[in-house]
Chain A
Amino acid sequence: MADFFASFNIAFLIASAAKIIFLTFLVILPMVAYSVYAERRFSAIIQDRVGPNRVGIPLTLFGFKKDIQILGIGGLLQPMADGLKFILKEDFTPGHVNKFYYWLAPCLTMVPALLTCAVMPFGSELDLSWFGIAQPIKSVIADLNVGPLYMFAISSLGVYGIVLAGWSSNSKYPFLGGVRSSSQMISYEISLGLSIIPVLMIFGELNLSKMSAYQDANGWLLLPFWGEGLSLSRWVLLIPLGISFVVFTISMFAETNRTPFDLAECETELVAGYHTEYSSMKFALFFLGEYAAMIIGSGLAVTLFFGGWSIPFGPLLSQLTGLQFHFVPGHTPLYTGLLHIATFFAKVFGCILFFIWVRWTLPRFRFDQLMALGWKVFFELALVNVILTAVILIWCPLK
């Protein structure tokens, strides 16, 4: 027994727990809440409205004249108010549902979305030698050598939440939503997986943190402006990478059930789709799961195509300023490690704004158009792209 306990690396366990708590509870969940707020404000300004701008620290409840607005931006506490509303609402379970699956479905939407962030490299390394920790701590919860595969495997479990919700609700609209969602997500999973094969061929690697480190040293895949990125072959490879990025992004939209592919919950036809029968916190879990999936998807897109946590022109900036902005294994100062984390989340936030922008621009696809696009265009395009990349890699190989 003592041997068993001694076999644990306590420092490693504590570091992992700290990283899990930091990433999921201090970053992803608040980010989910605030991307809902961002969605509401962004959609408002797109439609010439103002959006939620009232919720602040509610001093009027205690007899003061005005609420305090944080940073002068109205409504920054709106997510808290929404959350409070969800918690206080009646959690109603209709009599005609299959109770077990009805309760299981919301968890199955939220949990895979949060599980996938385990392999997400959200920063380079944190050098904590000031605090007496000799080894730099990697800013990733689990540095798996099969990062993207793990992500696809877990995130495709998310469809079960939707299917089970539609099935167990025992009502027509959720059922239709669930059926649509399952066929949609299964067909787009193929093009999603195939679209990143060229990327993996170029990296020759399935470890997400090593991919980020490579891009930090040699230019982002889509912006090869420094290091080896200035070679001919990287610029020729921009053609398959561009195709791969477009296919990946659009499949990601379909995979996360965002407009223009939100056929599983399209309000105009299916009331609310698969979560029609849900209320209160169970509905909120679906809602938050969708946004969490969006954040993880953006994180993957950023890691694969936009250099992950790397600061743009990092090595060049280091030469110019004398400070270190690029990643050197084992010798990255603390400020650079923190800057890398900030850069990663800034990029993810940019991606989310793009998601929102697209949502409020495009109308919804018809279901047959959606399936035709997935099977007749993207599947073939992604396959051809793999061959194209292989040919280019043979003719002008990377060093």
Chain B
Amino acid sequence: MATITVQRPKLAWHEKWFISPFIKGMKLTLGHAIKNLFLLIGRKEKTTMEYPEQKWDLNLPDYYRGAPALVTDEHDRERCVSCQLCEFICPPKAIKIIPSEIPSDDPWAKVEKRPKVFEIDMIRCIYCGMCEEVCPEQAIYLRKDYAITGTSRAEMLHDKKRLYEIGGKRVGLVNKWNELK
């Protein structure tokens, strides 16, 4: 193997003794300090946002992965057919589904299944978005809610009702169960 001799930069004596680098560094930090001091005094736009008062919500990108939620279609039918793919793929095993049959007198009887229990444990959820990716019915989506907090474990367990509340209605995606189409 060839030996490569690295050419070290030639330092002047004041650089070797940390005199000019020291002054340079002190100037840099003081410059930042003075700039930010005037921003603070002038109550101008700062580099830092003060979180609870100022939020970045309007600038969240489209691909932002927040809390996962279930959605209904334009006929208010729950899209989830409880195939349990999301439950199986979920890396931290945060999703729990108990499927149930749709009774034959229901207008959507031909869909056959819907979840009886659908729970996402938000303490376990890692917001990876695999559930959204794997869902064949496009029934589960990662929304832009990120401040999921609670004072107890039970509060952090999102049940079906809560998931539909967050998710809401999404129209015009898959219409395979739509009679009119």
Q: How far is the CB of B130 from chain A (nearest CB, A)?
A: 35
B47 in contact with A48 (CB, 8 Å): yes
- B25 pairs with A45, CB closer than 8 A: no
Contact A362:B25 (CB < 8 A) given known A49-B48, A50-B46, A50-B50: yes
Scan A44-83; emit 1 where CB is below 8 A from any B CB, else 0: 1111111001000000000000000000000000000000
- Does B177 have its Cβ within 8 Å of any Cβ on chain A? no
| A48 in contact with B26 (CB, 8 Å) | no
In the complex, per-residue mask of A119-163: 1 if CB is within 8 Å of any chain B CB, else 0: 000000000000000000000000000000000000000000000
- With a CB–CB cut-off of 8 A, which chain B residues contact A42? 33
* Given known A-B contacts A50-B46, A50-B48, A45 and B40 have beta carbons under 8 A apart: yes
**Roughly how many angstroms separate A358 CA and B25 CA in the complex, as a whole number?**
9
Contact partners of B29 in chain A: CB under 8 A: 46, 357, 360-361
Which of A50, A360, A362 contacts B22 (CB under 8 A)?
A362
Is B37 an interface position by the 8 A CB rule? yes
How many residues of B are counted as interface, with CB atoms below 8 angstroms from the partner's CB atoms? 15
- Bound CA–CA A275/B48 (angstroms): 32
Question: Among residues 40 to 54 in chain B, which have CB atoms less than 8 Å away from a CB atom of chain A?
Answer: 40, 46-48, 50
B30 contacts which chain A residues (CB < 8 A)? Answer: 357
A residues near B40, Cβ cutoff 8 Å: 45, 50
Chain A residues positioned under 8 Å from B28 (CB to CB): 361
Complex contacts, A50 vs chain B, CB 8 Å:
40, 46, 48, 50
Tell me which of B25, B47, B48, B50 contacts A361 (CB under 8 A). Answer: B25
Complex Cα distance A208/B26, Å? 31
0/1 interface trace, chain A 281-318, chain B, CB 8 Å (1 if under): 00000000000000000000000000000000000000
Of all chain B residues, the one with the shortest Cβ separation from A47 is B32
Complex CA–CA separation, A357 to B26 (angstroms) = 8
The answer to whether B36 has its CB under 8 Å from any CB of chain A is yes
Inter-chain CA distance A53–B40, complex, in Å, is 11
Residues of B within 8 A of A46 (CB): 29, 32-33, 36
With a cutoff of 8 Å between Cβ atoms, the chain B residues found around residue A357 in the complex are 26, 29-30, 33
Interface centre among A45, A48, A50, A362 (most CB of B within 10 A): A45
Q: Report the Cα distance A362→B32, complex, angstroms.
A: 15
Q: When the two chains form their complex, are residues A48 and B48 in contact, meaning their CB atoms are under 8 A apart? A: yes
Write out the residue numbers on chain A whose beta carbons fall within 8 Å of the beta carbon of B47. Answer: 48-49
**Cα distance, A42 to B30, chains bound together (Å):** 10
Could you tell me which residues of chain A, from 347 to 388, have a CB within 8 Å of some CB in chain B? 357-358, 360-362
The distance in angstroms between the C-alpha atoms of A7 and B47, with both chains bound, is: 66
Q: A222 to chain B: closest CB distance in Å?
A: 18
In angstroms, how far is the closest chain A Cβ from the Cβ of B49? 9
- A178-193 contact mask (Cβ, 8 Å, vs B): 1 or 0: 0000000000000000
Q: Which residue of B lies closest to A358 (CB)?
A: B26
Q: Which residue on A lies nearest to B38, using beta carbons?
A: A45
Q: Give the Cβ gap from B173 to chain A, nearest Cβ, in Å.
A: 43
Q: Report the Cα distance A102→B82, complex, angstroms.
A: 61
Which residue in A45, A47, A361 is a CB contact (below 8 Å) of B37?
A45
Most buried by A among B22, B29, B40, B48: B29
Complex-state Cα separation, A46 to B30, whole angstroms:
7
| Chain A residue with the shortest CB-CB distance to B24 | A361
For A11-48 the 0/1 string (1 means CB < 8 A from B) is 00000000000000000000000000000001011111
Contact at B36–A45, with CB atoms within 8 Å?
yes
Which B62-113 residues sit within 8 Å CB-CB of chain A? none
Q: Is the CB of A48 within 8 A of B36?
A: yes
Chain B residues, Cβ within 8 Å of A48: 32, 36, 46-48
A47 to B31, CA, bound (A): 11
Q: Which of B28, B32, B36, B46 gathers the greatest number of chain A CB atoms within 10 Å?
A: B36
Cα distance, A48 to B46, chains bound together (Å): 8
A221 to B47, CA, bound (A): 42
- With a cutoff of 8 Å between Cβ atoms, the chain B residues found around residue A361 in the complex are 22, 25-26, 28-29
CA distance A361 to B29 in the complex (A): 6
Nearest Cβ on chain A to B28's Cβ, whole angstroms: 8
A252–B102 alpha-carbon span in the complex (Å): 79
**Contact digits for B13-32, partner A, Cβ 8 Å, 1 yes 0 no:** 00000000010011011101
Q: How far is the CA of A358 from the CA of B33 in the complex (A)?
A: 12
A247-299: which residues lie under 8 A (CB-CB) from chain B? none
List 13 A-B pairs, Cβ < 8 Å.
A45-B32, A45-B37, A46-B33, A46-B36, A47-B32, A48-B47, A49-B36, A49-B48, A357-B26, A357-B30, A358-B26, A361-B22, A361-B25
Given contacts A50-B50, A357-B26, 15 further A-B contacts (CB under 8 A): A45-B32, A45-B36, A45-B40, A46-B33, A46-B36, A48-B32, A48-B48, A49-B36, A50-B46, A50-B48, A357-B29, A357-B33, A358-B26, A361-B28, A362-B22
> Which 9 A-B pairs give the minimum distances between C-beta atoms?
A45-B36, A48-B47, A361-B29, A361-B25, A45-B33, A46-B29, A46-B33, A50-B48, A49-B48
